[in-house]
Structure 1
Amino acid sequence: MTHDPQIFGLLASPVDSCLLPLAFQGSIYSLWRERNGRKHNNSWNSPAQLVRSLDRTIRNRISSLRGRNPEFSSLLMQRWLGKN
């Protein structure tokens, strides 16, 4: 089994090692909500709506970390928004 060196390179940064699991968990959560909406409410979202929902979920989670460590959450938000 080979490992992608880019993934392990991402984990070297504390910001990226925190953001990668957040993005993964947020993706799973968004897909789960979409599945439940389709199954229970007969409602479908467009792919663009799913992306917006995921983006909002990640932004909210990063913002919720602000009280504990404002500097780190600011770095997380900058990375999520692609500003660094």
Structure 2
Amino acid sequence: MIWRKLVEGLMRDAFTVDWSELISIVSKSWVTPIKTFILRYVMQATVYTIWWERNARRHGEKPRDIDCLTKLVDKYTRLKLLSLKGRGDYYEDGLITWFGAQPNS
């Protein structure tokens, strides 16, 4: 659900939740360099966040809902894209690309 909320707008017709298809997509260049970077980063951040939440629950912390976890991954992504500003031509439009792919934008 987190993956769908975050990248369905970015991937459009190529959207999938099938693990082997995702690995194939993120293993090669995809559409544009910035979209490739965003897709890879969001995948990494999503996996990390789910792992982190799992560990928190195993250690007795209060569970967070899907919306909270989605906002957390979105925040990680925005901060990463902000940190890349000035690093090259195709990174400059990273936040614009990210905001344009979000249904809430």
Short-chain TM bin? 0.7 to 0.9
Residues 17-72 of structure 1: CA deviation (Å, up to 9, x unaligned): 11110111111111111112111242200111011111001111111222533x53
SS at match of 1:81: helix
1:62 is aligned with what amino acid? L
Say whether 1:24 aligns with 2:40. no
Q: Report the structure number with the largest CA radius of gyration.
A: 1
Q: Aligned-pair RMSD on alpha carbons?
A: 2.4
**TM-score, scaled to structure 1:** 0.74
Query: Which position in structure 1 is the counterpart of 2:20?
Result: none
The structure 2 residue matched to 1:76, chosen from 94, 97, 101, is 94
In the alignment, the residues of structure 1 paired with residue 55 and residue 73 of structure 2 have an alpha-carbon distance, to the nearest angstrom, of: 15
Structure 1 residue runs of 5 or longer lacking an equivalent are none
SS at match of 1:19: helix
2:53 is aligned with what amino acid? E
**TM-score, scaled to structure 2:** 0.61
The structure 1 residue matched to 2:79, chosen from 43, 46, 60, is 60
Equivalent pair of 1:63/1:73 in contact (CA under 8 Å): no
Larger relative contact order, structure 1 or 2 (CA cutoff 8 Å, min sep 6)? 2
| Percent of aligned positions that are identical | 25
Equivalent pair of 2:46/2:73 in contact (CA under 8 Å): yes
